[in-house]
Amino acid sequence: MTTLPYERLTYLENFGHSLRAASYLYKPTSAEQIGETFQFAKKNGLTVTLRGAGRSYNDAALNGGGIVMDIQDMNRILEWNPATGVIKAEPGVTLQKLWQHVLPDGWWPPVVSGTMYTTLGGCLGMNIHGKNNYKMGTIGEHVLEFTALLPTGAEVTCSPTHNGDLFYSIISGMGMLGVFTSVTMQMKKVHSGLLQVEAFPARNLHEHLNAIAESAPVNDYTVGWLDSTATGSGLGRGQLHTAKYLHEGEDPEPRKTMQVSYQTLPSTLFWVFPKSIIHYFMAPFMHNPGVWLINTAKYIASLRKGQYRQSHAAFHFLLDYVPNWEKAYGRDGLIQYQSFLPKETAEDAWREMLTLSHKRGMPSYLGVTKRHRPDKFLLSHAVDGFSLALDFKVTNKSRASMRAMLHDFDRIVLEAGGRFYFAKNSETTPETALRFLGKETVEKFKALKRRTDPHNLLESDLFRRVFGSL
């Protein structure tokens, strides 16, 4: 133990800058180096956590006192077939690199997150969804095949029909079963670089969820912004954005709109302010009255309905509009609480939660709603219903009371038959996880873990926190 690589020690944070852990950072560029790192970890009694872009809101990519294997340097696109839309890439390829590679040929990733900076490895480890979850499912549903290196040293090839149990568990397995070394995916054919977008308001939670439920079947994408500071009769009000792909011929200049340069988000606001500095101007407003003001203004602006065409990138990657926006939350950062609820119980549960957050003086600063459908993956967060993601500012003073509130939220969600997402919530307890996953799923996950990782080399802070005692 005397030869620990102190020179690799570094503090890594969660995306919200609200948690940090000291780790030995490795950046492998090949499967061989991943294997060597596993060997080193085993020899020195260390554990290994996988990290992509570090965009998880919790401790999924943190490993205090252990090794963090950052796979971002494994970022080659290995094969691309513009005729079939099948792409093979390494796990460090970001969604940005992916769409920029395929769009000029008339394809788009079938599922993307709200930011384009996530990596394929991270997206598959958490089995992300997009604003089209109810229609296209999770990203894992579009994987034709992947190869993964297990901590045992074995390299496995998995598809829905070959090694199916590993396929449906390594995807969604939080990087705890193996390391993706290549991913083969089917892209979605598009006939334009633009989407037909519609924006309209919802006056309260009931209207909000009804609007999502009604819009989803007739649109390719549906997403809601929820004014989480509104109270009383306006509780749960917000704005919906729906989008449809353009059919062949609807875009007179598809070649032009599918160029990467056409998709690029502007780098300045009002043509003068560099966007990279906007978060400094947001920071002074990041308190309850300031956010109420911003949300109210945004809601009033949203009362004007709109119909327009927007580029894919501009529609999808809302989180990338203001670079480093999360830094506006200040020194103690932010957390996100996302709950997934059946369509029958969602309204009552969220009404109770939003009311509780106002009563306790800790309103969320940003709310986002989506429509979902169940999937077949082992650690699934999906339900036939809706999700609500709530961002909260962390302050030193409110830590304990916010934790108590989130545990009350957990109780409400569990009673309403809801689920959670391991890329988001940071305070989920083992008991909560056991209850929403079910004993059978947890046992199956543990059995697979014993098989692929008999020495427990792959462990993250998230894994220890939630599954360590289960």
Q: Is residue 400 involved in binding another protein (CB under 8 A)?
A: yes
Could you tell me the CA-to-CA distances from 433 to 56, 92, 467, 468 in Å, in that order? 18, 28, 8, 12
Q: How far is the CB of 4 from another protein (least distance, A)?
A: 6
Q: Is residue 293 involved in binding another protein (CB under 8 A)?
A: no
d(CA 408, CA 391): 16
Nearer to another protein, 394 or 442 (CB): 394
The region of 1-9, 86-94, 215-223, 338-346 touching another protein under the rule CB under 8 A is 1-9
**Binder among 28, 52, 54, 66 for another protein (CB under 8 A):** 66
d(CA 187, CA 166): 22
Q: How far is the CB of 294 from another protein (least distance, A)?
A: 23
Q: Is residue 411 involved in binding another protein (CB under 8 A)?
A: no
Nearer to another protein, 337 or 350 (CB): 337
Q: How far is the CB of 259 from another protein (least distance, A)?
A: 41
Could you tell me the CA-to-CA distances from 329 to 36, 268, 289, 356, 379 in Å, in that order? 39, 21, 14, 22, 30
**Binder among 59, 141, 227, 453 for another protein (CB under 8 A):** 59
Q: Is residue 20 involved in binding another protein (CB under 8 A)?
A: yes
Question: Order of strands, edge to edge, in the sheet holding 385-393?
Answer: 306-311, 194-202, 238-245, 221-226, 366-372, 385-393, 334-342
Q: Is residue 65 involved in binding another protein (CB under 8 A)?
A: yes
Residue 467: name the closest of 437, 453, 455 by CA: 437
- C-alpha 104: how far from its chain's center? 25
Q: How far is the CB of 325 from another protein (least distance, A)?
A: 17
| Number of residues binding to another protein, judged by CB under 8 A | 38
The region of 57-65, 154-162, 177-185, 210-218 touching another protein under the rule CB under 8 A is 57-65
Q: Is residue 399 involved in binding another protein (CB under 8 A)?
A: yes
Residues near another protein, by CB under 8 A: 1-2, 4, 6-11, 14, 16, 18-22, 46, 58-59, 62, 64-66, 332-333, 335, 394, 399-400, 402-403, 406, 426-427, 461, 464-465, 468
